[in-house]
Structure 1
Amino acid sequence: MTIQNPTYLWALLGLLVPLAIHLWSRKAGKTVKVGSTQWLIASENTRFSSLQFNEVFLFVIRTLVVLLAVLILLDLVQKQPADARKMAKTWVLTEKALLKDARVRPQVDELVKAGASLHLLEPSMPLVSPKELSQETFPPKEKAALQTSSDPKVFTSLNYWSYLRELDTRVDAPKKVIIFAQNNQQRFQGTRPNLGLEVEWINLPQQRKQVFLLDALQLPKDSLLLSIGMSDESGTQVIQEKIGRQANTKIKDLPSVIVKDAQVHFAQVPNEGIQIRVPTPKRVLIVYDQAYNLDQQYLKAALETVGEYMQTKVEAQTVAWDKLASRNQNQERLDWAIFLGKASKGTKAKPNISNQRIVQQLRPSNQWFAPDEAKPNVYYLQQRVNPEINANVLKVTFLEELTQLLFANPNAQERLSKFDQRQISLGQVSPQKKLETDNQIVNQNEGESETQSYHLLWWLALVIGIVVERLIQANRLKV
C-alpha cells in the first residue's frame, strides 16, 4: 500500500471526536412518572466529575466512519509490478570469451539467478538463456557480425560505444545495463554517447603485462633486428634488440626467442610467431631549397649508405623546389619524399608524389624523426642534416633511426593494436546520461508499475457506515 497524499494524515485527529463524545456523554436514566416535579430535589450534574466510557459498539462504528473518510483523503493505493513483457529488465552484457573467466562467471551466474537477462556484447546482442549458459552452448554469430577479441585478426573491430548506441534505440531496450569488459582504449572509438540507459561498468584489469614480438627485420651478417612490445593498462612501449639468427636466443628480462626457418616466436607462445622481413628496394626523392643544399648532399649519402648496409638498393634522387614542377610526374611512384626548406612561390607546398613523407620541422629534440599524430604517413625531421651546423649527424644514431624509419613494417600498427592493453578511466568509459523530459519520466514510471485504487470500495464502506450509525442512534433514542 502507498499513500498518495500523506499531508492529510493530520485528519486522523478526527478520531478524538467520537472518543470525547463517548467519554463525556452520560447514559440515559430510567423515566419516573410523578404527579408533580416540585417535590423532586435537584441534583448536581456529574458529567465531568467522573469519566465513564459507554456505548462501545456505537463508538466503533463512528471510529470506522472517520477512518474511512481519512483513507479517502489519503488516496491509499497499491502498486503492483507490471507485466514482465512490459517491464524493462536489467541486462548483463559481456563477451563470449569472458564467460569462461573466473573473475566474471560467478558474478554473471548470480545476476542471472536474480532475474537479469544475459546478452553477448556484439552486434545484435543475442540472448544467452540460463540453459545455454550452464551448458556453455552460446548462440552462433550472424554472418555479418564482427568477431570478439578472442580472434586477433579483428581485435580492433570492437567498439563498445557503437553497441550501446544500438541498444539505446531498440524497442526492448532495458533500463539498466551491467557490462563486464576490459576498458581498453582502442575499443572506444568516436565521441562518448548520450544515452537514456543506466550503465554500470565493471572493469576487468589485465592480470599481467603483455610481451609480444612486433617485427623481425633481416640484417646483414645473418642477424635480426627485433621490435618487442610491452603493454599494460598504464601504457605501451616498444624496444629494439639486435640478435644473431640462431635457434635459441636469451634476452635479459624477456622470454627466450626461437628462430625457425623464416619465423620468430617466443618460447612460451609458439603460435604467436611472426615472419622475418627481408628489406625491399626503396625509391626516395629529396626536395630542397638552396639553404639546404649541404643537407641534401649528406642526406642522399646517408640513404645510399643505409641501402648498402641493408644489402638492398636505396635509390635517392634530388630536385630543387623551383625545378619540381618541371620534373616528369609520370615517373614510377616514389616510396618516400623528403622536403627540406620552404617551397618556392607558385609551387605546391607538399605535393602528393609518394606514399610517405618526411618534412623538415626543426624542434629542440634528441630524436631525429617524430611521427605526425593526425597523419600516419607523415614524419618530421627535427634536426639539420648538416655537419657544419649539427655534429650529431656524424653519429651512428642518425643512421640507425633512418634505417628503422625507412624499413619500418607497414603492418606493425595493426599487430600493435592487437596486444595494446592501455585502458582509460571508468569516468571516461561510461556514457553520459541523457536528460529526460517530464513526459518521459511519467511514461517510464507508468511502464515500471501499475497501481490499484480502492476509492470505490472506501466510498461504499463509508456510506454503509454512516447509514448503520444513524440507524443505531435512532433506535437508541426510541428506547
Structure 2
Amino acid sequence: MLTFLAPSSGLLALLGLVVPVAIHLWNRRPARTVPVGSIRWLAVAANRRMRNLKLEQWLVLLLRAGLVALLAGAVGGPVWRQPPPPRLGQVFISPDLLASESVEAVRATIDSLRRRGFALRQLSRNFPRISDTTWQQLRTAPRPPATATYDFWSRVQQAADSFPGQPIRVYTSATLRHFRGNRPALPTTVSWQALPLPGARTTWLTGASLSAPDSLRLLFSQSTTEAVLTSRRTVARPQQNGLLLPRIAGLPPLRYQSEAGGQAFIQVLDTDSNRVPVQTQPLRVWVYHDAGHALDARYMRAALRAAALGLAPRLELAVASTPPALTKELDWLYWLADTPVPAAWQQRTARGLMLWQDGRQPGTSVATTFAVTPQEEQYRISRLDTTLSHNSATVVWLAATGQPVLTHQQAGRGGFYRFHSRLHPAWSSLADSPDLPLLLLPLLQPDSTHTFSPHDQRQLAPAQILAPQPPSSAPQPAWPARASAIDMRPWLLLAAALLWLLERWVAGRTAAKPRAV
C-alpha cells in the first residue's frame, strides 16, 4: 500500500508542471531560411504564426513533465507499507485435559479455531504439535499418570513469551495442584478456560505408625474435586516380613517390610511404588505459656489437637504455665511468653527439637494480610513483633506489606520458628480461622506435603486463574509494530535521473534537425 508522508508538499510541487509547458510555448526553435521570389506575404504569415501558438516536440514535453512529476512525488515522501502476515493463533491443551472426557466440551470450539489457522499444541515441555490423527483419536492417546503434576502458570507465561503478539487460547483442567507459585500477569492476548475433570478421586496412604506392639495405625486420605478427607484404620501387624496387609478400599495392595536395623516400612504395590515408614514414637509436644499468653495457649491446644487427626504418629500434648524439665524428651516446644527461650532448650535443636516462639509485647500496630498460597484465604494481621530474625532464617509466611509473619531457621537436626504475631484476636484472625490446623500440619509433619501434593484433586476457582487486566486507554497503532515500510524516495530520484538522461538525449536529437518554414 502506497502512502505519502507529506502529501500537501507533493501536491504543491506538482504545480511545477507548468514550467515545461511554458518553456515549449515560448522557447521556439529558429526556422530554416528558404529563398523565395517575393516577400509580399511574409509579414502577414509571421503575424498569423504568433497568434497561433501551439505545442511542439511532444516527446520532450512528456519527458520533462514526467521528470517534474517524479520530483514532486519525492517531495511528498512516498512510503510503501507492507502489512505483516496474518497473525495465526496458538491453542494449548494440558495433557491431563487432553486425555479426559472433558475435552469434548471444547472440541467444537477448538475445531473452529483450527479452521481459522490456529496451531494446536500441548501445554508441556517444548509445546509439541498435536497431529490431526491424535486429535481425532484422543481415546488412543497415552494417558498421563493420575499423580502427575504440572505447572500451568509458568507454562502459559512461557507460551506467551514464545509466541508474542499472537492470540493464545489455553484449555486446562482446574486441578489445584497444577497451579503453583505466584500468579503471573499475562498479556491480553491470552484467553484461558479451565474445565473440571469428571470423577476425579484419588486415595493414598499418608502415614503409618505403631499404635501397639501387635497393631499398626494407617493414615490414608481421599481427595475429590471439593475436599480432602483423612481417615485412620488400625490393622494387625504382620508377624512375618513381606506379608500383605488387609485390603483398604481405594488403596493398592500394601506390604509390610522390616529391615535389619529395626525400621519398618509399608510398601505400596502400585506404579509409584512408594515406601511409607512406620513411626514407632509419638509426636511429643509441650506448649508453655505465661499469664499474658493464656488465651493464645488455648487456641494453640485446640489447633494442635485438630491437626493430630492428619498426623501419622500419636500426639502427646502437654499445655502448662511452667516450662518443661530439661530431662523431658520433646519434639516440639511452643514458647508462648515474652521471655526468651532458655539457652539450654535452644541447644537441644541440634538433636532435633523444633522451637516456636510467639511475638513479644507490645508489638507494632499494622493493617495487613498474608496467605500461604495466592489461591488460599487471606488472614488478617493487626500487630507484628518487629524483632529481627537471623540472616539465615527463611520466610515461611509473608505479609502483603513484605514483612515476615513466620520465619524458620535451621539449627542442626531441628530448628527455630519465630511467629512475629500471635493467635490472640487483638493480633491476628488466625484464632477464628478453621484453617489453622491445616497451616500447622505441614510444619508438624513436613513429609505430608510431599505425599499429599501429587494426589490433590481439588479444583481452583476460574476467577483465581487469570489475574484481572487493568483497562488500557492507549490508542492502538494504525499499523502493527512488525509492518514493514519501504521508503520510495531513493527509487523516485533514481527514476528521475534516468528520465533526465533520456530527455537530454531526445532533446539533442531533436535540436539537430532543422525546422522548415
- Structure 2 unaligned segments of length 5 or more: list them: 207-218, 232-245, 252-277, 366-378, 382-395, 399-405, 409-416, 426-430, 471-480
The answer to whether the Cα contact below 8 Å between 1:123 and 1:163 also exists between their aligned partners in 2 is: no
Task: Using the TM superposition, name which of 410-419 and 281-290 deviates more.
Answer: 410-419
What is the one-letter code of the residue matched to 1:204? Q
Cα contact 1:90–1:176 (8 A) shared by 2: no
Residue 275 of structure 1 is matched in structure 2 by none
Q: 1:360 to 1:337 in 2, by over 3 A?
A: farther
SS class of match (2:316): strand
Identify the match of residue 204 of structure 1 among 174, 193, 204. Answer: 193
Once the 2 structures are TM-superposed, how far is the Cα of residue 204 of structure 1 from its aligned partner? 1.0
Deviates more, 1:87-96 or 1:4-13: 87-96
Greater shift in the superposed pair: 408-417 or 63-72: 408-417
Q: How does 1:372-383 map to 2 (within 5 A)?
A: 373-374=397-398, 382=423
Amino acid in structure 2 at the alignment position of 1:9:
G
**Residue 64 (structure 1) aligned with residue 62 (structure 2):** no
The equivalent of 1:154 in structure 2 is: 148
How large is the RMSD of aligned CA atoms in angstroms?
Answer: 7.0
Alignment partner, residue 285 of structure 1: 285
Match of 2:125, SS state, is: coil
Structure 1 Cα separation of the partners of residues 299 and 163 of structure 2:
66
For residue 229 of structure 1, report the CA deviation from its aligned partner. 6.8
**Equivalent of residue 181 in structure 2, options 180, 189, 193:** 189
Structure 1 residue 226: Cα displacement: 9.5
| Corresponding residue for residue 92 of structure 2 | 94
Give the secondary structure class of the aligned counterpart of 2:317: strand
- Equivalent runs, 1:393-404 vs 2, <5 Å: none
Letter in 2 for 1:189: G
The aligned runs of 1:244-255 (5 Å cut-off) are: none
The separation in 1 between residues aligned to 2:89 and 2:303, in whole angstroms, is: 61
Q: Secondary structure at the match of 1:202?
A: strand
Give matches, 1:64-463, under 5 Å: 64-71=66-73, 92-97=90-95, 101-102=103-104, 105=107, 117-128=119-130, 151-155=145-149, 157-161=150-154, 164-165=157-158, 168=161, 174-181=163-170, 187=179, 189-190=181-182, 192=184, 200-206=189-195, 262-263=248-249, 282-291=282-291, 314-317=315-318, 326-327=326-327, 331=329, 334=331, 336-344=332-340, 346-347=342-343, 373-374=397-398, 382=423, 410=448, 414=453, 418-423=457-462, 424=464, 426-427=466-467, 454=491, 456=494, 459-463=497-501
- Bigger Cα displacement from structure 2, 294-303 vs 415-424: 294-303
| Alpha-carbon distance in 2 for matches of 1:315, 1:41 | 136
The question of whether the paired residues in 2 share the 8 Å contact of 1:4 and 1:77 is answered with: yes
CA deviation after TM superposition for structure 1 residue 94, in Å: 0.8
Corresponding letter in the other structure for 2:285: L
Cα shift at 1:53: 6.8
Per-residue deviation, 1:137: 11
Matched AA of 2:64: R
Deviation string for 1:417-454 (max 9, x for gaps)? 54231344745589xxxxxxxxxxxxx969x6888974
User: 1:162–1:2: structure 2 CA closer, same or farther, 3 Å change rule?
Assistant: same
Q: CA deviation at 1:201?
A: 0.3
Deviation string for 1:314-366 (max 9, x for gaps)?
Answer: 43346767666x345xx4x62x5443333347548988565696959999xxx
Query: In 1, distance between residues paired with 2:482 and 2:300?
Result: 72
Letter of the 2:460 counterpart: Q
Aligned length: 387
Summarize deviations over 1:218-255 as a string: whole Å, max 9, x none: xxxxxx99998766xxxxxx59899xxxxxxxxxxxxx
Match of 2:124, SS state, is coil
Rounded to whole Å, the distance in 2 between the matches of 1:399 and 1:457 is 82
Q: Secondary structure at the match of 1:153?
A: coil
What CA distance in whole angstroms lies between the structure 1 residues aligned with 2:90 and 2:15?
A: 50
Structure 1 residues without counterparts, runs of 5 or longer: 141-147, 218-223, 232-237, 243-259, 266-277, 364-368, 385-392, 431-443
Residue 376 of structure 2 corresponds to none
1:188 and 1:398 map into 2 onto residues whose CA distance is: 23
Indicate the SS of the match to 2:148: helix
